[in-house]
Amino acid sequence: MKKRIFIYLFGIGTVLSSCSKSFLDEEPLSIYTPDNSLQTAIQYQQATNNLYNGLRNIYMGNMNLDTYFGLYYATDFAYNGTDYDPAAKLNAYKATMVPSYFIPQGIWTAYYKIITNANLIIAELNKSNKLSDADKNNFLGQALFFRAYSYNVLANLFGGVPIELNELQAPRYDYVRASRDEVYQQCKKDLQQAIGLLSDISQVPDGTVNKQIAKHVLTEVLISLKDYDGAISTATEVINFSGVSLMTGRFGRRASLPGDAYRDLFEYNNQNYSTGNHEGLLVIQTALNNSAAVGDQTAWAVVPSLGGVRIVESTTKTKMSILFNAKFVDSVSSNGIGWIRPTSHFFYEIWTPGDIRNSSYNIVRDLRISGVPATSPDYGKWYVKDGYKDQVKPADYRDTIRNFYPVIRKMSPSAGDFVSAAGPAILSNITNPFGGLLLNGASRLFIPKYMARLAETYLLRAEAYLGKGQKQLAADDINVLRNRAQTTPATAADINIDYILDERLRELYMEEFRAVTLTRLGLLYDRDKRYNPKSGLTIETYHNLWPIPTTEITQNTGAVLQQNQGYSN
C-alpha cells in the first residue's frame, strides 16, 4: 500500500509517494552512528580496540587512582597508607565502604562501560552482511569474552547485578538485579561460545584474546558455580595445551645477569608470547610515547615514600639532612608514594626458606645508603640492618606508615645491575635508570602487564580439586609452582582455602585484584579481620560484598534495584 507524504521544502509544496521506506527515515551522512560506523573489518577492529582500552585503563590505573587502588588494599594483602589518621582509625573502613563511596561506583562504571561497548559490537555483528565469516567469528569471540569477563568481576564484587545483553538505543531506568548464579551462568554461556570462535594463543598477535584465556576465566566461573569437574576439565585443557608452559628457567633480556626465573617474568619486554614467554595467557599491551597507550601506576603506588626520608643524626654523629633523593628512589623501582602498604602477613608470615618469589631480586628488604658523599662514614651502610631506619623522625602518622618497608619490584624493570647474588648492592645515582621507559616524573611505567598467567590456572585447578576434597591433587598443582620457586613442597595435609589464598599471595602479589578474589570466595571479612591492621578494625561480615552504588539505585526510577544486605542508601 502506498502512502502519500506531504513535505514543505523552502515554502514549496511537494508530494512524494513511497512503497517500502518512509522519506522521513533518517539516513545520517555527516555523523557517526553504529549503523554507519561499524561496517568494515577495520571499523570493527577499532571498536574492539576500545574494549582492550577499557581493560587497560582498569589494569593500569588510568582512572581515579584511589578507585583502582581499592582493588588491592583493604584486603589481607595491603592497606591504604594515607587515610588512617589515629583519631579516626576506628571508623575508617566501615565509614567509607558505603554505597556513596566512589570506589564501588568507579569500578561498577568501568566494567559496565566495557559491557555496553561489547553489546554494541555483538548487536551490529548480528546485522552485518559485509564481513567475512572469519572476521565475524573473530570479533564476536572477543566481544563475548570481554562481556563475560566484566560480568564475572562484577558478580564477584557485588553479587547479583543487572544483566544487559542488548545494544541500548535509549537510557533505561528499570533494571533489576539478577541472582549471582544467573550472572555466572551468563558468563559461562558467553565464554563457551567465545571459546568456539577464538583462535589459540599461538595463532594471534601479542595481547589478543584467545581460547586459553577464555578457558582460564571459564574455570573461575565454573568454580563459582560449584561445577568443580567442569572447572578441572577447562583448566586442564589450558595446562595441557602445547602452546603454553611455565617459565622455569632463566630467559629474556637479562638471563645472563644475576637474577632468577621469577624475576625474569617481570623484566621489561619479557612478557609477550612473541618474545618466548609462554606463561602469560593475556598480556595487556602498552608502549612509551604511543598516544593510545597508558602507563602502569602500580609500582609507583606500592613503593614506600622514600624521597623525603631524613636522618636526624647518624651513628657517627654526622648530620645527614637528606638520606635519599628521587634518583635513589628511581633506582629501586619508581617514584614511590606508599599509598598501597602491604601487610605484615604478606611481608613476613607467608614465606618459607629459599622461595625465589621472595628473593632480593623481587622483594628488596634492605638498601645501602648512596645519597651521601662516598667519603661519608655512612656511605654503603645498610638502612635497616645498621639501624638508620629506626632514627627516622616522621613528620606525622602518614610518614610512619609510608616510611621504608620492603620494596616490591615486580612491576618495574631493573635499573642497571643493582642487585647481586648476595643481595642489593650499593645504589648509585643513575640519571636514567630505565632507559627512557619513564614518563611524568616516574609515576607511570610503560611495561606490558599480565592480566593472567598460566601459574594462576594451576591455582584455580587446585581450588577446584579442593572443592572436590581431592587435596593431594590440589597439592600437586600447587607444588608445580613451589618447585619453580625452589621452596618446600606442600603436603595434602597443608591444603585448605587459606593455604591456597596464601599461595596466591606468594605467586600473584600485585597481579591479581585481591579484593575480587576475596569477595568471590566470601572471605574478605575473614582475611581482613585476621591480617589487615587497618580495615580489619571495623570490617563487618556484610562487607564480603561491595555495596551497589547509590547513584545506580536512585537513578533507576522505573524499578527497585536492591541494595546488598547490611548497607543503607
Structure pTM? Answer: 0.87
pLDDT of residue 361: 87
Q: Which residue has the higher pLDDT, 348 or 419?
A: 348
pLDDT confidence of 409, banded at 50, 70, 90?
confident
Q: Looking at this protein, which amino acid is placed at residue 399?
A: D
C-alpha cell read off for 554? 536512585
In three-state form (DSSP H/G/I as H, E/B as E, the rest C), the secondary structure along 337-388 is CCCEEECHHHHHHCCCCCCHHHCCCCEECCCECCCCCCCCCCCCCECCCCCC
Is pLDDT at 67 greater than 90 in this prediction?
A: no
Note the pLDDT tens digit of each residue in 159-175: 999 999 999 888 999 99
Note the pLDDT tens digit of each residue in 413-440: 665 433 322 333 233 222 333 333 333 3
First vs last Cα of the chain: how many Å apart?
55
Is pLDDT at 474 greater than 50 in this prediction?
A: yes
For residue 65, the tally of other CB atoms under 10 A from its CB is: 16
What's the sign of the alpha-carbon dihedral 288, 291, 293, 296? Answer: positive
Is pLDDT at 522 greater than 60 in this prediction?
A: yes
- What does the pLDDT average to over 365-386? 74
Q: Which residue has the higher pLDDT, 444 or 543?
A: 543
Selection from 279, 348, 335, 332 nearest residue 308 by Cα = 335
Contact status, residue 305 vs residue 338, Cβ threshold 8 Å? yes
- What does the pLDDT average to over 359-385? 77
Residue ranges and CATH numbers for the domains of the chain are 48-242+513-569 (1.25.40.390), 297-444 (no CATH)
